[in-house]
Amino acid sequence: MAGPDNIIIGSHVWVEDPGLAWIDGEVIRINGNEIHVKTPHGKTVVTNISKAFPKDTEAPPGGVDDMTKLSYLHEPGVLQNLATRYELNEIYTYTGNILIAVNPFQRLPHLYDTHMMEQYKGATFGELSPHVFAVGDAAYRAMINEGKSNSILVSGESGAGKTETTKMLMRYLAFLGGRSGVEGRTVEQQVLESNPVLEAFGNAKTVRNNNSSRFGKFVEIQFDKNGRISGAAIRTYLLERSRVCQISDPERNYHCFYLLCAAPPEDIERYKLGSPKTFHYLNQSSCYELDGVNDAHEYLATRRAMDIVGINDEEQESIFRVVAAILHLGNINFAKGKEIDSSVVKDEKSRFHLNMTAELLRCDAQSLEDALIKRVMVTPEEIITRSLDPENAVASRDALAKTVYSRLFDWLVDKINVSIGQDPNSKSIIGVLDIYGFESFKCNSFEQFCINFTNEKLQQHFNQHVFKMEQEEYTKEEINWSYIEFVDNQDVLDLIEKKPGGIIALLDEACMFPKSTHETFAQKLYQTFKNNKRFIKPKLSRTDFTISHYAGEVTYQANQFLDKNKDYVVAEHQALLTASECSFVRSLFPPLPEESSKSSKFSSIGSRFKLQLQSLMETLSATEPHYIRCVKPNNVLKPAIFENFNVIQQLRCGGVLEAIRISCAGYPTRRTFYDFLNRFGLLAPDVLEGNYDDKVACQLILDKKGLKGYQVGKTKIFLRAGQMAELDARRAEVLGNAARTIQRQIRTYIARKEFISLRGAAISLQSYLRGNMARKIYDELRREAGALNIQKNLRRHIDRKSYLTMRKSAIILQTGLRSMTARNEFRFRKQTKAAIIIQAHWRCHQAYSYYKSLQKAVLVSQCGWRCRVARRELRKLKMAARETGALKAAKDKLEKRVEELTWRLQLEKRLRTDLEEAKAQEIAKLQDALHEMQSQVEEAKSMVIKEREAARKAIEEAPPVVKETPVIVQDTEKINSLTSEVEKLKALLLAEKQTAKEAKQAHATEQAKNVDLTKKLEDDGKKVDQLQDSVQRLEEKLSNLESENQVLRQQALSMSPTGRALAARPKTTIFQRTPENGNVVNEEIKKALPNPQLTETEEKPQKSLNEKQQENQELLIKCISQDLGFSGGKPVAACLIYKCLLHWRSFEVERTSIFDRIIQTIGASIEVADNNDLLSYWLSNSSTLLLLLQRTLKASGAASLTPQRRRSTSASLFGRMSQGLRGSPQTAGFSFLNGRLLGGLDDLRQVEAKYPALLFKQQLTAFLEKIYGMIRDNLKKEISPVLASCIQAPRTSRASLGKGRSQANAVAQQALIAHWQSIVKTLNNYLKTMRANYVPSFLICKVFTQTFSFINVQLFNSLLLRRECCSFSNGEYVKAGLAELEQWCHDATEEFAGSAWDELRHIRQAVGFLVIHQKPKKTLKEITNDLCPVLSIQQLYRISTMYWDDKYGTHSVSSDVIASMRVKMTEDSNNAVSSSFLLDDDSSIPFSMDDISKSMQQTEVAEIDPPPLLRGHSGFSFLLQHTE
């Protein structure tokens, strides 16, 4: 790939490494043909220049999905690409149309769910990320489009994942061509579910795989002319029979043996089984169980799978009986007999197993023993019976076991094929070949020879296919390819299969001679092929031989070739099992022809396998092949481990490197003109600046560089091997010169910058020194000035100190003189003040003494005068007491006083009584609480009454006044007693007032509580009103549901014979109301009922009435079939239909055809699915009409006919009663008056709907949903083709490569506007159309919300499935387009756009993540919480691993973040969290009838004018009355 001239110092190359197979490094030295390469680890490798391969330093960090896109198509480049993608969990990679699948050894369910199948369905091959579904889809599309059968060849070594890949292919083909079966299970289900059965009996654990298929399988899936699966067949090849008897540690035998040993106890007891350790065929290895596999559960699952594929219980019991018999057969041991070369059953244990084997096979135990230890030889003279020695007896036992198991496996395959069924009329098939891969072990026996022979055949077919694909590519590009050499391996195939001198022919010849041994066979091979370059004789072995296969040399041990090639049908075994009492066992061994049953007949496994292989190749040659190469990345079967040597060997064995060699023989490097100019345009800038076509520009560049042998196709440049490296070397040279120019300029800049800095430093230093000198001079001047200042201040200080001393002395003298004068003055004033105080006290004492004497004299005078006055008053009283009149006056005065007190008591009593009554009226509920207080008040009242009565009685009993002195004394005593009684009454009155006051306070408290209770009562009343509203709405919904149930029951009746009988009855007559009488009278109804006694004259008016009704209906249908338009923003047709149906009372009749005719008219109008204007018109009409019906029709029998009024907000009892009475049936008689509603048509009345009306409502609802879905799907269909262009940024033209970036941006911007503006234009057109037809804003909002959700799903899924879309520049492109949609949402307003912008949250956050800078610095928490909170871990991982920056060369998130994402994904998969990273489009109807009724305003149907067609018709005069 790279010549010596192309590798220079500084080149990055790949060199061989003993540990990593290949390691990259940089060339640091070249000595002739030797180069010194420094690896990233610091190690220096010396190698020949011819063994170094150039490395593409500009390869994407995440690898390429198609290895034909690699700049250097060689072994290390392929290996590095696979390893890079495997590290990112990208397990699939293309090589042209060949798929390489690397086993991840972990579950990746998100890659195989239904969402992923939907994405790959119909997608162009190579458009999406590599996937096994893409291969399956390509095969299916080729079969459908070209009518030719296709085949998919899945190969790989054991553990590479062939079986799982085959399962996924069959699942996908079933998804594409499957159909739900009406009876039983479908073909594709049976094919898929036959896998567990075949795996149980044909798979086993090997060193490299826990579930290795030990047979080849070719599944033919047959399709009918419509592309539906119509049948299937399964073919198997070369079951590894020797595994039944011989296994090596740590492998296992076939799964079915271990499953049977783990069966339920009753089965184990029936078959007399036990632990696998007790059976010879199983205990040769120490491995009995598989990690994570429960054999007991698998046994039950296998039994269920057998049920599914059509194996009944009896056959299942027979199958496992045969399996158990094989286990028992293996435990039969032999010992030497009495005779020479004879043998007998060894012991009782062996005898027990012999008897169990005979019992399970339903044959005679003695016959079984004879068949194992004896042989019958038929000669012309006699029949000779001879015994076998123990060794031959064991061989006979093992031969029987292998034969029985092989026949059992073949029976299972035949049974599955019969159960699935084949389509004899099928014209095309898709075959899926799951075949063993190339094998090369330390010990390679006959099985490896056959397996490698198969792979040589398939490799020849593969080489031819690859060469054919190369030819097709060259022909498509119209280039000359006639001189390309084709690599073929026919010489190896001739060595193996050619007659008569091939290895298989020599093996069959040796097997037919009794005296032949493996040594004689090996010597025959040495002699025959001593000159064959593909055949090698090992030096140190006499029986081994080596064949040079396409994948490398393999040494075979011929020790057991002869034994394993022989497929004797032992006559004794055949006779024994043909005579079995079990029909199942007899069916495994049908009777042989008489001439072949007398002795053992030789049959060659090798020849039979060659014939099978020849048949398979004929089938494959008749089909269009597709290849899947499965690769096992490591031998420890663990994820995230990639062993380079192991993978390289498998790529060789799988023919991938051979295919690359074929490609290298032609033109291994292909580049589109754009990519070529983008990479190598800098080699000829003058070409880019010229106005050349891309193709011409590429050719000019190549010619200018002197390259020969290249080819220029229609769209690509084809380069020979090594030319890419040469161009890269020239490019590196140009870039190196440019780099040197840049370095020179940079060095000049750095030197000048250093000079400027030095000059600045010198100037700064000089400035500093000059400043320092100036500072010193300034310091000296400052010191001199400071000294002068100090001297001046010191002299001033001395002078001031002497002055202050003198001044202080003068002040002290002045102070002493002044203080002496002040003390003399103070002493004088003090004496004067003391004299004044003494005088004041003396005068005060004199005045106080005079006042006291005067006061005492006054008191004495007053006391004397008062005594005198008192004596005078006493005399007057004594005189008055002697008089009777005075006594009577006193008595009267006391009585008045008693009466006044009595009146006051009565007044208090009355006030208390009134207070109690008021309290009793206002607080009825609090009477119990106040009862005790009332009783206390009553007791106090009774006491007052008693006291009053006692006082009154005492007054009445008082004797009359007499003039005797004793009577006067008695009356005085009574007066005194009465006075005391009065005082007591006063005290009681005060007590009662206090009690009344306390009662008033209690009353106020209770009144406050009463107010609170009243408020609570009002709140409860409001809640009761709300509950009544809810109950009423629930009753209405319940009634609607009951009506719908009634509709469904009637539909069921109509489908039943009884319903048909009911339908055969005469229809009920429909009456039309006249303007004079709004209701139909009962007598008229009775007259209208079928009555055989009615005369013909009575029927004629009714007949004319029906005809008139039919005429009106015809006119209405004719009218609504036209576009009536809108009146005041309301659809005329819907309002017209509603008003007519309401007037004709069509909702209340049991039978009518008007509803069906309206539905048929609407259905006929929307037959044109792409007329959005018409669809919007009927969407508006149907939604309005459905809203009117929703608010009018009522299914319950007590439907109110009064106008609906708003519920009063009053919480009073009268309000609640009036609301409860609104729905009463007594008001039904006031619904109509002279043919119109009392409340007008603006208030809709509720009508008791019958079955036709409810059915009409359901049909109208279905039509509304249908029309909505048609408009939404039309919009999706219109924008769907544009979305493919919106997810990937358009490439700039070649001219923009050599011109300014501004022009490139302008071109990109123009391309951006072209695609995204197309979507915006489509959205505007639909919005304009729906608004012109007055579609409710609620429905418009839903249409655009679901459309934006569709855009989000399509863009986001395409972003995750196409790596070229996960780039920085593409993120900027999509972000700019999303800004256009955001602007549209803003212009459309929230009324019509709603939450449409929020539906784009996934693609918005994904694009936002693509265009952020410094992704490696972001933590997982920042990404999940701040940047992309909506995206799942699986989606973030997918974007992070697929991201590449084609603009600035930035990197994705750090490896730590990637590792954290993997951990979270593993936890999610363990927690059964859905791991799909794709979104699903929701095509359901996102609203209900309640949503529409809540969102739409009530339509005023009275304001709609009738159309001219109905305006002059008498039957529609009621429309004019309403409008008037």
Of 103, 209, 428, 1440, which residue is the catalytic one?
Answer: 209
pLDDT of amino acid 751 = 95
Q: Is the pLDDT of residue 317 over 90?
A: yes
pLDDT band of 796, cuts 50, 70, 90: very high
pLDDT band of 133, cuts 50, 70, 90: very high
Q: Is the pLDDT of residue 1120 over 90?
A: no
Known binding residue 1377? Answer is no
Known binding residue 454? Answer is no
pLDDT of amino acid 599 = 44
pLDDT band of 594, cuts 50, 70, 90: low
CA separation for the pair 688, 1518 (Å, rounded): 82
| Catalytic residue status for 445 | no
pLDDT of amino acid 1143 = 83
pLDDT of amino acid 1341 = 92
| Catalytic residue status for 666 | no
* 3-state secondary structure (DSSP) of residue 1432: coil
Lowest mean pLDDT among 655-664, 959-968, 970-979: 959-968
Strands, DSSP E only, in 12-97?
12-17, 21-31, 34-38, 44-48, 53-54, 92-95
Q: Is the pLDDT of residue 366 over 50?
A: yes
Known binding residue 157? Answer is yes
pLDDT digits (tens, 9 = 90+) for 1212-1239: 333 433 333 333 333 333 333 333 333 3
**pTM for the whole structure:** 0.59
Q: Is the pLDDT of residue 1053 over 80?
A: no
Query: How many residues in total does the chain contain?
Result: 1524
363 and 580 Cβ atoms separated by less than 8 Å: yes
Strands 374-378 and 552-557, how do they pair?
unpaired
The H or E element spanning position 344 is strand 343-345
CA separation for the pair 545, 528 (Å, rounded): 12
DSSP string, 317-340: HHHHHHHHHHHHHHT--EEE-SST
Q: Which residues of 1399-1431 are buried (b: 16+ CB within 10 A; e: fewer)?
A: bbebbbbbbebbeeeebeebebeebbeebbeeb
| Catalytic residue status for 482 | no
| Catalytic residue status for 1104 | no
pLDDT digits (tens, 9 = 90+) for 494-525: 899 888 888 988 988 888 887 788 889 999 99
Of 75, 298, 439, 497, which residue is the catalytic one?
Answer: 439
229 and 174 Cβ atoms separated by less than 8 Å: yes
pLDDT of amino acid 1051 = 53
Known binding residue 162? Answer is yes
Of 166, 212, 600, 1152, which residue is the catalytic one?
Answer: 212
40 and 25 Cβ atoms separated by less than 8 Å: yes
Q: What is the mean pLDDT of residues 1441-1447?
A: 78
pLDDT band of 929, cuts 50, 70, 90: low
Q: What are the start-end ranges of the H helices in 30-177? A: 75-87, 114-120, 132-146, 162-177
Q: Is the pLDDT of residue 1376 over 90?
A: no
**What percent of the chain has a predicted confidence (pLDDT) above 70?**
83
Of 177, 330, 437, 1371, which residue is the catalytic one?
Answer: 437
DSSP string, 884-953: HHHHHHHHHHHHHHHHHHHHHHHHHHHHHHHHHHHHHHH-STTHHHHHHHHHHHHHHHHHHHHHHHHHHH
pLDDT digits (tens, 9 = 90+) for 1018-1030: 777 777 777 777 6
Known binding residue 485? Answer is no
Known binding residue 1074? Answer is no
Q: Which residues pair with 717 in a beta bridge?
A: 671, 712
Choose among 273, 377, 368, 369: nearest CA to 328: 273
| Catalytic residue status for 439 | yes
pLDDT band of 1109, cuts 50, 70, 90: confident
Known binding residue 206? Answer is no
Q: What is the mean pLDDT of residues 1194-1216?
A: 41
Q: Which position has the higher pLDDT, 1074 or 598?
A: 598
Of 81, 158, 565, 1040, which residue is the catalytic one?
Answer: 158
pLDDT of amino acid 1236 = 36
Identity at 1081, one-letter amino acid code:
V
Q: Is the pLDDT of residue 1505 over 90?
A: no
Strands 1126-1127 and 716-719, how do they pair?
unpaired
pLDDT band of 959, cuts 50, 70, 90: low
Q: What is the mean pLDDT of residues 80-100?
A: 87
- Secondary structure string (H, E, C) spanning 1107-1144: HHHHHHHHHHHHHHCCCCCEECCEEHHHHHHHHHHHHC
Question: In this structure, what token pair is assigned to residue 1412?
Answer: 């952020």
Choose among 466, 735, 794, 737: nearest CA to 626: 466
> 1048 CB contacts (<8 Å, ≥6 apart)?
none
Lowest mean pLDDT among 244-258, 447-461, 982-996, 1060-1074: 1060-1074
Known binding residue 1084? Answer is no
| Catalytic residue status for 213 | yes
Lowest mean pLDDT among 226-230, 328-332, 770-774: 226-230
Lowest mean pLDDT among 633-637, 862-866, 1288-1292, 1311-1315: 1288-1292
Q: Which position has the higher pLDDT, 1156 or 1085?
A: 1156
For residue 1007, CA distances in Å to 500, 919, 1019 come to 125, 9, 18
DSSP state of 543: S
| Catalytic residue status for 1180 | no
Q: Which position has the higher pLDDT, 824 or 119?
A: 824
Q: Is the pLDDT of residue 1071 over 50?
A: no
Lowest mean pLDDT among 263-277, 736-750, 1364-1378: 1364-1378
Average pLDDT, the chain: 80
Give the other-Cβ count within 10 Å of 825's Cβ: 10
pLDDT of amino acid 1301 = 42
pLDDT of amino acid 1087 = 37
Identity at 164, one-letter amino acid code:
E
Q: Which residues pair with 431 in a beta bridge?
A: 151, 220
Choose among 52, 50, 67, 54: nearest CA to 728: 54
